[in-house]
């Protein structure tokens, strides 16, 4: 199977322009015969890096409110069809896509960090909202739920392959991983803002624990990627001129790094993987099979989609 991690910079806080970049990368991946393509966390329209590099917790601050309003305005509305063209192109090219988006809530006033699974035949088959935003992310993202903890059958040429995906530090959450391993994935997508220091250990551990290949995708974000009129731009520049360096990698079930993108470089990281390695690695450890103890551990996952209100007319 041929897999790829997309290590690129978004057109920061510009949904339409970033989706154009998604389509360009998708076209390149399709031309190279990629069957599974993974984009970084909230790639569309970008990761809210200002929460770590500005006075993001200042209450009723005009610059913070304006920046959040812009982020909200440029977030992805799934119901209105913002990803329709991506779905169409993925189908034309036969590529299964994991795309990180900032998803606008039904109320129109909140944002979820969502990982969208796009099947080349069935279209959007999953939307996983990050269970718990990490640290400063909680200033801009709402809590997700278990509805998206679903593994999918990716239909490559040689037969279906089971794939799963988690956002960023969800890959450190033992029970989130356990929910995925229980569904028998062979390839796992891990999405990140963009840092080898953040993603390397977690990606290798997930591969070793799940006995899966991990396709780990991180973004690039530099000073030249920031809009000139971003209200918090000057504050961010006080903390350097780059906030995401990539860290994309592809890891084998034995923890071996098969491919690693150069830090700070935009590139499509492509690798051919042999799924027989997954079966071989599970000879001595299968976390959801012969090395599990369901008679001792009782694990329940609520995958119902939670709603603010239920209306009966």
Catalytic residue among 35, 137, 154, 168: 168
**CA pair distance 190, 251, nearest whole angstrom:** 11
- 306: number of Cβ within 10 Å: 11
Active site residue 41: yes
Q: Tell me which residue of 49, 43, 129 sits closest to 307, measured CA to CA.
A: 129
Residue 168 annotated as catalytic: yes
Catalytic residue (choose from 130, 137, 154, 170): 130
* Catalytic residue of the set 41, 103, 170, 277: 41
Strand 152-154 relative to strand 161-167, pairing: antiparallel
- Answer yes or no: are the C-beta atoms of 29 and 8 closer than 8 Å: no
The whole-angstrom separation of Cα 145 and Cα 127 is 10
**Region for 187 from its dihedrals, namely left if φ exceeds 0, alpha if ψ lies in -120 to 50, beta otherwise:** beta
Cβ proximity of 127 and 116 under 8 Å = yes
Active site residues: 41, 130, 168
């Amino acid at each position: 199977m041929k897999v790829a991690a997309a290590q690129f910079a978004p057109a920061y806080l510009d949904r339409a322009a970033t989706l154009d970049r998604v389509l360009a990368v998708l076209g390149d991946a399709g031309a190279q015969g990629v069957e599974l393509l993974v984009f970084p966390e909230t790639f569309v329209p970008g990761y809210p890096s200002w929460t770590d590099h500005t006075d993001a917790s200042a209450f009723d601050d005009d610059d913070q409110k304006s920046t959040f309003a812009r982020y909200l305005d440029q977030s992805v509305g799934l119901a209105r069809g913002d990803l329709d063209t991506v779905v169409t192109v993925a189908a034309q090219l036969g590529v299964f896509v994991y795309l990180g988006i900032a998803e606008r809530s039904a109320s129109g006033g909140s944002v979820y960090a969502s990982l969208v699974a796009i099947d080349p035949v069935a279209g959007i088959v999953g939307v996983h909202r990050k269970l718990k935003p990490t640290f400063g992310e909680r200033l801009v993202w709402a809590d997700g739920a278990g509805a998206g903890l679903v593994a999918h059958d990716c239909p490559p040429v040689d037969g279906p392959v089971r794939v799963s995906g988690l956002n960023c530090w969800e890959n450190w959450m033992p029970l989130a991983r356990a929910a995925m391993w229980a569904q028998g994935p062979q390839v796992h997508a891990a999405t990140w803002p963009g840092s080898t220091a953040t993603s390397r250990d977690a990606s290798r551990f997930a591969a070793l624990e799940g006995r899966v290949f991990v396709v780990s995708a991180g973004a690039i974000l530099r000073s030249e990627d920031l809009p000139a009129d971003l209200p918090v731009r000057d504050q961010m520049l006080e903390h350097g001129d780059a906030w995401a360096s990539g860290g994309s990698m592809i890891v084998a079930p034995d923890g071996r790094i098969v491919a690693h993108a150069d830090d700070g470089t935009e590139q499509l990281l492509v690798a051919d993987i042999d799924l027989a390695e997954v079966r071989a690695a599970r000879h001595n450890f299968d976390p959801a099979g012969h090395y599990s103890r369901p008679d001792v551990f009782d694990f329940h996952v609520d995958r119902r989609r939670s709603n603010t209100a239920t209306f009966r007319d």
